[in-house]
Amino acid sequence: MSFVETLRRWDEAVNCVDRQELSEALRILLSIQEPNSKICFDIGCLHLLNQDLDAAEKAFDCSIRKDEHLAIAFFQRGITFYKKKRYEESLGDFQRAFKALRGNQLIDYKALGLRYKLYACEILHNMALAEAQLGNWEKAQDHLVKALDLKTEAKLNLIDRALQSILKQKLFKLVEFPSKELFKPNKHYVAELEKKDYLGKAKVVASVVPQDDFSGFAPLQPQVEDGPVQKKEPEVFRTLQGEPHTVLFEFVPETSDELAVVPGNIVFVLQKDADNWASVVFNERRGLVPYNYLERLELSLASKQNEGERASPSRPPPTRPERKQGFTPKESRAAPTQQEDAQSTDNLCIVKVHFTFNFAVSVLCGSPSVILIDKISKKLKVPSASITLSKSPDAKRQNEISANTEMDNVWHNVNNRRLTVWCKVKEKTEEKLKNEIHLVALHSYKSSNPEDLSFDEGDTITMLSRVNQDWLEGKCKGNTGIFPASFVQEVPVDGQ
């Protein structure tokens, strides 16, 4: 089944759920061949609504096989096992869902098409209930105490009531996912299902030639009586950016920066890269398409195409080219800078730095220690000499990373282009304190997002970095996070 047909049926099924036609929605989803993990998840949710627990378990199994990092699928399968009174398997799935959060307070699935937030405290709540069903009351209590550290204000009463029940060795209610909330297909792809004629057709307003049916991009030309009546070739539409190409084969994207197209689409190529990928524009959207799926189109020949639709090629599509690490669509045909060339190399490594707050920098694998230290010092805005790096939380002498360190041993720890180091900064001098930027809160800012920094009106905040024009990163009362720049005002250090 093609990507377009899968998208059409998925969207139709979601609309059926909105109209409360659950049986029809399930029938449509089951008719999709080779469904992705999100569609399998939707099928499992509809089976749960029908109390068909065996079918729901199989659907969630399929979703997890296709995406082993989908925490919400583990959570739903854990609920399914709990309802089947298979408490040990239910506990195992809740533990996997909690692990998939990777220490975060919650996961918001809105960006993936699901209007739901999965909270760590709710997963721990269900883990405690499964332990209670197994008679492990002390472990259940430990899970709820941990949930108190990860709770949000909205979930406070839920955890408190569960803890009171555990202290009395009584069971409590399971936290369930609203099964009518389903993953929805990308709205941009759905919008492209309907054919749109953005240009329309040109019309003749007046003509001295009888039965003149000229149409095209070019304006009406001065005509002479008894002159030739053959149609003029339309001129190239020079206001469009890029080179026009016709799509020969259907292309199904596998990453977010690729673009879905079908035979007959007209795209405008902005740049063709050496690895045979092209950055194109289609329906005001930009993305990557294999260049061997395209054919150059001369708009001057468009009048010949008006006589009939271009026939789709009968031969199979060419081999999909390999993606080079770091290639992204370019906004223009300008030559890439030296810095962009360096970032597009295969040796780029992301270094996660544990500090009073965590951050990441990108460095080429195999770089000397001075480059790594310089990158981190610029991020923290402190001198390189005041930074001490180590390969582990244990800041012993043998774990330090300095100018004399054999970096081969450090880069040997790279896993999947990721490296983790620990950083400490020496005590700040008076000169450094004078260079710090301090802010005072003009208004109180409270947010439930774990990455945000909450503060009260009049609090003093130390600015760490500028995220963009509207958001800053800072530290207040021992906490670190981002906050709106409009809520604060800079003050001199002496004014604290």
Please state the rounded mean pLDDT for residues 242-249.
86
Bridge partners, 269 (sequence order): 243, 280
- The residue type found at 277 is W
Cβ neighbours around 341 below 10 Å, total: 11
Name the region of 462 (left: φ>0; alpha: ψ -120 to 50; beta: rest). Answer: beta
> Over 50: is that where the pLDDT of 62 sits?
yes
Q: Domains plus CATH for the chain?
A: 3-167 (1.25.40.10), 243-303 (2.30.30.40), 348-430 (3.10.20.90), 436-495 (2.30.30.40)
Q: Which residue has the higher pLDDT, 71 or 188?
A: 71
In contact, 188 and 206? CB cutoff 8 Å: no
In contact, 395 and 354? CB cutoff 8 Å: no
pLDDT at position 235 is: 40
pLDDT at position 381 is: 76
> Over 90: is that where the pLDDT of 333 sits?
no
d(C-alpha 461, C-alpha 439), whole Å: 5
pLDDT in tens, 5-43: 888 888 889 889 888 888 999 999 999 888 889 999 999
Q: What percent of the chain has pLDDT over 70?
A: 75
d(C-alpha 455, C-alpha 445), whole Å: 5
pLDDT at position 129 is: 92
d(C-alpha 97, C-alpha 93), whole Å: 6
C-alpha 165: how far from chain center:
39
Q: Which residues contact 309 (CB under 8 A, 6 or more apart)?
A: 264
> Over 80: is that where the pLDDT of 395 sits?
no
Cβ neighbours around 65 below 10 Å, total: 11
What's the angle, vertex CA 307, arms to CA 303 and CA 311, rounded to 5?
105
- The residue type found at 89 is E
Beta strands 418-425 and 348-354, pairing class: parallel
Tokens of 336: 């890439």
d(C-alpha 175, C-alpha 154), whole Å: 14
Q: Which of 129-143, 275-289, 327-341, 429-443 has the lowest mean pLDDT?
A: 327-341
> Over 90: is that where the pLDDT of 91 sits?
yes
Of the pLDDT bands very low, low, confident and very high (cuts 50, 70, 90), residue 335 is very low
pLDDT in tens, 252-271: 887 777 888 888 888 888 88
What are the C-alpha distances in Å from 225 to residues 3, 198, 207, 219, 238? 54, 34, 10, 18, 31
Of the pLDDT bands very low, low, confident and very high (cuts 50, 70, 90), residue 131 is very high
Which range has highest mean pLDDT (303-307, 405-409, 461-465)? 461-465
Q: Among 8, 17, 27, 9, which Cα is nearest to 114's?
A: 17
Q: Among 303, 309, 301, 297, which Cα is nearest to 214's?
A: 303
> Over 70: is that where the pLDDT of 64 sits?
yes
Bridge partners, 461 (sequence order): 439
What are the C-alpha distances in Å from 296 to residues 246, 280, 282, 292? 6, 13, 15, 10
Strand segments (E) across 374-470: 387-390, 400-401, 418-425, 438-441, 460-466
d(C-alpha 77, C-alpha 98), whole Å: 13
Q: Return the SS3 of 196.
A: coil
Which range has highest mean pLDDT (233-237, 248-252, 302-306)? 248-252
Cβ neighbours around 2 below 10 Å, total: 11
pLDDT at position 446 is: 85
The alpha carbon torsion through 230, 231, 236, 239 (nearest 10 deg) reads: 140
pLDDT at position 399 is: 76
